[in-house]
Chain A
Amino acid sequence: MTEETLLRVENLYKHFPIFKGFIQRQVGAVHAVDGVSFTVKRGETLGLVGESGCGKSTTGRTILQLYRPTAGHVFFEDVDLASIKGEDLRRMRRKMQMIFQDPYASLNPRMTVGEIVGEPLIVHNSASGKEVNERVAELLDLVRLNPSFASRYPHEFSGGQRQRVGVARALALQPSFIVCDEPISALDVSIQAQVVNLLEDLQKQFGLTYLFIAHDLSMVRHISDRVAVMYLGIIVELAARDELYTDPRHPYTQALLSAVPIPDPTVEESRKRTILEGDVPSPVNPPSGCRFRTRCPIAKEICAETQPEFREIAPGHFVACYFA
């Protein structure tokens, strides 16, 4: 892994407007991503974890400009994706791809696997005619699917195999950066390991950079180099993988980690849990000050006043908490 920064996200915001009434006046907005900054180095895997609705998927999609940001910048190889459009953006797109969560929804059931995997090649004019078929066969082989499967339709495949098709499609244009949006959460346990191992092997082979979005903290620990924890639209903690898991400083990270069950009855017996009270507040109207204060076991008055700064408390370890 080099120290070169591939992706730099600066103060990214994505608000979805809410319209109501006869004239569809805007009455508010879902603050899905509310000021997020981080960098991803070339060749590394950044894990992005958080519970449902925390904005992690929206962050991934906004980076790829599948949603245009409300504010902020996304520098990819020093080009601000938020400020370009049309042909310029299209040219950048081949360098960044996405793997989706649900392999049942992300593959067109009326297209053969060969057409699905070959489509990006044709759309971006990177191959034509017989070349496409050759390239598709190569790609299927790469994800350990039989190249003769190219003429079959998605419904003939299992969930794990479909996810491999999704991976092959993402690799078609030889991207340098892939957003993996919960790529394994729809799969069975024994199949998850197959797909994760495949992603790791491909990363080694092609020097890929991943943004790995997931809610499974165990898998994120396994695959990531650094990990960012999101809560209600902001990143509350970001650190190197082992540091985050062994020395979490934000009370939310601490509670999140303690809530994950460990497959070992002896460890579970003696484990102390921080059980968080209540539910995540609505992102339409997030709490003032620190967003976690309504569920935080150590919240004080100051937490309700201003949002704590996302500060570096140790080299490479960022936390947004007054008491970290």
Chain B
Amino acid sequence: MRCDFADSLLQGYFDGELSGRRAAEFERHLRHCVYCVTELVDLDLLRDSLELAQLYEPATASLRRKIKINVSLHAIAPTTAASRPCLWHWLAAAAALLFVVSVLGRVGQMFNRDDYQAELAGEIVDAHLRSLQSGPMTGIASNAEGDIKGWLDGRAGFAVPVRDFTNEGFALKGGRVDVIEGRAVAVLVYQRNGRPINVFIWRTREQDSPRRTGSRQSFQWVDWRKGKMEFCAVSDADPMDLEQLHQLMNSSA
């Protein structure tokens, strides 16, 4: 015979959800009810086998990564002065690191700075590769400076210098927002002789600096800072082309 208590009290008792008074009441009932005792044993066996089977399926690392990127893309700060120090928190941390290093010696400073630069360039080249491999390269496809600027400024949280250099052989194709070191950065997409060039732009507190260049995985990069912004252009185009684009942007910014 099924017992009336089986649906309500028995489950609550088994799950430890009954108040002390009701649990005691149910235990008194258990002394006389074979049905409920058997049911409790069955429930226990069921829970054991569920536990042994390890049915819980956690998210994969790649899903986790995708979600983190989505969240970062979503979390672009409004352009209030108060939030900027947070947005560029990692740059502040890098600056602090550089300060410590500079105390240790100028040579050390140069070395570590280059290390940091190489790591950053690595991330940017990866982002460049991602843009070539999957989906559209541009969040906004346009050659109108104003349209791209309007689209980017709101998302990047600062005034992005957008210039078209079609006449000089670098056609502006559009812009997008990407994630570097967990932060959103603005990207301008140019085309030169059919090859795409990504220019990553983010705010910095550092002084202006002349260009630095490097290559990684057969991609060239040129990095420079001007007007509290850091620029990094990446492409598999001719290094001379990148150099020329750097000069165009540097003189117009």
A and B from one complex? no
Q: Which residues of B contact A (CB under 8 A)?
A: none
Q: Which residues of A contact B (CB under 8 A)?
A: none
